[in-house]
Every structure is written in structure tokens, then in C-alpha cells.
Amino acid sequence: MGNSIDLIFKIAGVGILVAVLSAILKHAGKEEQGHIVTLAGLAIVFMWVIQLLAALFEQVKSVFRLY
């Protein structure tokens, strides 16, 4: 329960961090690295969300007997 609410804050934190980092890198003239940072942030967040989605699908499957 508390774990899952942490996830919202974690995603928002990664998003803000990625936005700031890519702005800094863009300012320093390293736009390619900024793109890579964006992509890495997206991948990390995607992993978390995919795990959460898998948990949701499992629960829905067991509640609604969708075998």
C-alpha cells in the first residue's frame, strides 16, 4: 500500500530530474546525451509501471475468473 504510493512520487521525481538534466545538457550543447537521459528515465519508469500493470492484470484475472 505505502509502497505503491511511493511509486507515484518516484515517477514524478524521475520525470522532474530527467527534465532538469536534459535542459542542463541542452544548455551545455550536448543534446544527444540529453536524449539518452530522457530515454533512460523512460525505460526505468516503464519497468516500474509494467510490473504494476502485471500485478493489476493478475488481480483482475483472479477476481473475475478470467483464466
Partner 1 sequence: MDVLQIVAIGLMATVLIGVLKSQRPELAVLLSVAAGVILFLLVLGKIGSIVVVITDLSSRAGISMVYLGTILKIIGIAYIAEFGAQICRDAGEGAVATKIEFAAKILIMVLAVPIVAAVLQSLLKLLG
What does the binding site for partner 1 look like in residue numbers (CB under 8 A)?
1, 4-5, 7-9, 11-12, 14-16, 18-19, 38, 41-42, 45-46, 48-49, 52-53, 55-57, 59-66
* 54 grid coordinates: 502485471
Q: Which is nearer to partner 1, 36 or 42 (CB)?
A: 42
11-48-45 Cα angle (round to 5): 45
Q: Which is nearer to partner 1, 32 or 66 (CB)?
A: 66
Give least dist CB 49 to partner 1, A.
Answer: 5
Note the helical H segments in 28-67: 31-63
| Phi, psi for residue 66 in degrees, rounded to 5 | -90, 65
